[in-house]
Amino acid sequence: YYYSSMAKDGGVSCLRSSEMLNVGIGGMEPPPLDLDEVHVLAVDDSLVDRIVIERLLRITSCKVTAVDSGWRALEFLGLDNDKASDEFDKLKVDMIITDYCMPGMTGYELLKKIKESSSFRQVPVVIMSSENVLTRIDRCLEEGAEDFLLKPVKLADVKRLRSCLTGDVKLSNGNKRKLPEDSVSVDTSLPPPPLSLTFSTNSSDSSPPLSPVEVFSSPLSSPEDDDDVLTSSPEGSPMSEESPIRRQKMGSPGLD
């Protein structure tokens, strides 16, 4: 269920140290672990959306692990059982971005489980949804979501998220510059061996049985707008920055 990237340039990295060494991926030389790199866990049941979000994140210099369900995400984080496990203390996840509407476990339920965990409650969780439902947004923010993005997600959205994650800014000479206490702390005493891994996924083989997608009645959702707009600026659409209902952001760029 890990994702091999279409770009074939090293693809998805999984920073789980214990598993790396046990899996024999013939002939593959993993790139060295870069502790300064931001690692994002992306969760979406749609294959198309997973590919797009993965690309969006990688183009903004994040390492990405993409999974297709909340269960996979919990499994990846080691939260799928009640046993506390030491190996997951070494797992470096800087942000989790998840779709809201997913069969089985919604993004909201995943958010709650993450916030209940001692090891990952500090990790910012971003919710994505195709429906602009204020009650849904509020509920997520109240539960501790860092941000809420309206789908389809654009490059400007991810760039903005990325800039909020620059707790550790890597300078060209390799020095790390940290923001004060409210940044995500990276355990710099991690063992050095290379920890990257690429699986190819068969996303149709998810183990828990899927329940039908939740359908939310959304009386507050805005009418479908005809936004086939050509942006004149190739760099980004200024319009998405201005729209007040596209997303709500809670707090400062740092973590609470």
Partner 1 sequence: LMTAKSLASKETVNGRCWFYSDDDDGISVYLNRELHAMNTVVAQLQTQFQDYLVSLYQQGFLDNQFTELRKLQDEGTPDFVAEVVSLFFDDCSKLINSMSRSLERPENVDFKQVDSGVHQLKGSSSSVGARRVKNVCISFKECCDVQNREGCLRCLQQVDYEYKMLKTKLQDLFNLEKQIVQAGGAIPQHFPSYTILRPDIRPCLDA
Indicate whether 207 belongs to the interface with partner 1 (CB under 8 A): no
Q: Locate the DSSP E strands across 22-61.
A: 38-43
Task: Select from 19-27, 32-40, 184-192, 211-219 the region that touches partner 1 (CB under 8 A).
Answer: 211-219
Q: Least distance to partner 1 from the beta carbon of 145, Å?
A: 20
Q: Locate the DSSP E strands across 106-230.
A: 125-129, 147-150, 168-170, 176-178
Contacting residue, 24, 173, 202, 230, with partner 1 by CB under 8 A = 230
Phi-psi group of 110: left, alpha or beta (phi > 0 → left; psi -120 to 50 → alpha; rest → beta): alpha
Looking only at residues 6 through 35 of this chain, which bind partner 1 when binding is defined by CB under 8 A? 6-7, 9
Contacting residue, 13, 114, 237, 247, with partner 1 by CB under 8 A = 237
87, amino acid identity: E
Indicate whether 142 belongs to the interface with partner 1 (CB under 8 A): no
Contacting residue, 21, 29, 48, 188, with partner 1 by CB under 8 A = 48
Task: Select from 11-19, 45-53, 83-91, 104-112 the region that touches partner 1 (CB under 8 A).
Answer: 45-53
- In whole angstroms, what is the distance from residue 42 CA to residue 73 CA? 8
Indicate whether 152 belongs to the interface with partner 1 (CB under 8 A): yes
Q: Are 73 and 33 in contact (CB under 8 A)?
A: no
- In whole angstroms, what is the distance from residue 163 CA to residue 160 CA? 5
Indicate whether 205 belongs to the interface with partner 1 (CB under 8 A): no
Q: Least distance to partner 1 from the beta carbon of 237, Å?
A: 7
Indicate whether 220 belongs to the interface with partner 1 (CB under 8 A): no
Task: Select from 71-79, 162-170, 224-232, 247-255 the region that touches partner 1 (CB under 8 A).
Answer: 224-232
- In whole angstroms, what is the distance from residue 33 CA to residue 21 CA? 14
Task: Select from 21-29, 105-113, 150-158, 176-184 the region that touches partner 1 (CB under 8 A).
Answer: 150-158
- Residues forming a β-bridge with 62: 38
Burial class (CB in 10 A: 0-12, 13-18, 19+), 55: middle
Contacting residue, 84, 222, 251, 256, with partner 1 by CB under 8 A = 222
Nearest to 127 by CA among 103, 152, 158, 150: 150
Residue nearer to partner 1 on the CB measure, 61 or 231: 231
Q: Least distance to partner 1 from the beta carbon of 79, Å?
A: 26
Listed in sequence order, the residues at least 6 apart from 148 whose beta carbon sits closer than 8 Å to its beta carbon are 126, 127, 128, 129, 137, 140, 141, 247, 248
Chain contacts with partner 1 (rule: CB under 8 A): 6-7, 9, 46-49, 51-52, 55-56, 59, 101, 103, 130, 151-155, 212-213, 215, 222, 224-232, 234, 237, 239, 242-245
